[in-house]
Amino acid sequence: MEATARLGVLASGRGSNVRALIEAHARGDLSPPIAVVISNNSTAGALALARDHGIATAHISSRTCADPSATLLQTLRDHDANVLVLAGYMKQLDPSVVAAFAGRSVNIHPAPLPRFGGPGMFGDHVHRAVLAAGVTTTGPTVHRVTEDYDEGETLAHHPVPVQPGDDISSLAARVLTAEHALYWQTIEAQFGRGSADSR
């Protein structure tokens, strides 16, 4: 791939992982810059956050264009984004987008895969399932994006203990803290300075 990675970030919500990526790049820990932040939600905090940091943004949904997937791909090209980063993006990617970024797209999931992944497994649903299963360890997983939910190759996992007395809220908060570190570290390892993909 190109010598210099540029991230196209897709997010639907408040953007806490987007913030973590922005801060990691500002510190010099994450070498690839964020070229554009795209959301299917016009009121997403991730868009406001990106604008506040001078990062290009776009709102792309079926309400704004006839072919959202084609518009998404064109927007990524327009900003020279060559790595796709899903950060709480709540829409399944069209196969054309997955194919265009094959091997160059990543997602973060808040629990071990494949056990706690698949359709419908997002947010509190994941943490509820973890607690119901009675496991002692959970934690975020970074994986490559494929056409099927949460089925791509696992790139990294950070174990997070499930503590006695945990509820969904306390567990989610601890996992999110781990996500914020794991995601930029994995992206840097895969696409940053000295990575195999950057050479």
pLDDT digits (tens, 9 = 90+) for 73-93: 999 999 999 999 999 999 999
CATH number for position 131: 3.40.50.170
109 in a structural domain? yes
Q: Quick check: is 42 in a domain?
A: yes
How many folded domains does the chain comprise? 1
Residue 149 within a domain: yes
Q: Is the backbone peptide bond immediately before 110 cis, with ω within 30 degrees of 0?
A: no
Q: Which amino acid is at 100?
A: A
Candidates 162, 163, 164, 145; CA nearest to 154 is: 145
Residue 2 placed within a domain = no
Position 1 in a domain: no
Whether 53 is a known active-site residue: answer: no
Is residue 118 a part of any domain in this protein? yes
**Residue 174 located in a structural domain:** yes
Apex 48 CA angle, 104 and 181, nearest 5: 50
Residue 181 lies in a domain: yes
pLDDT value at 196 more than 60 = no
Q: Residue 32 sits in which domain range? A: 7-198
Per-residue pLDDT band at 1 (split at 50, 70, 90): very low
- Read off the pLDDT of residues 36-74 as tens digits, 9 standing for 90 and up: 999 999 999 999 999 999 999 999 999 989 999 999 999
Q: Which one is catalytic: 25, 79, 109, 158?
A: 109
Residues 47 and 37: beta-carbon distance below 8 Å: yes
Angstrom distance (rounded) from CA 62 to CA 142: 28
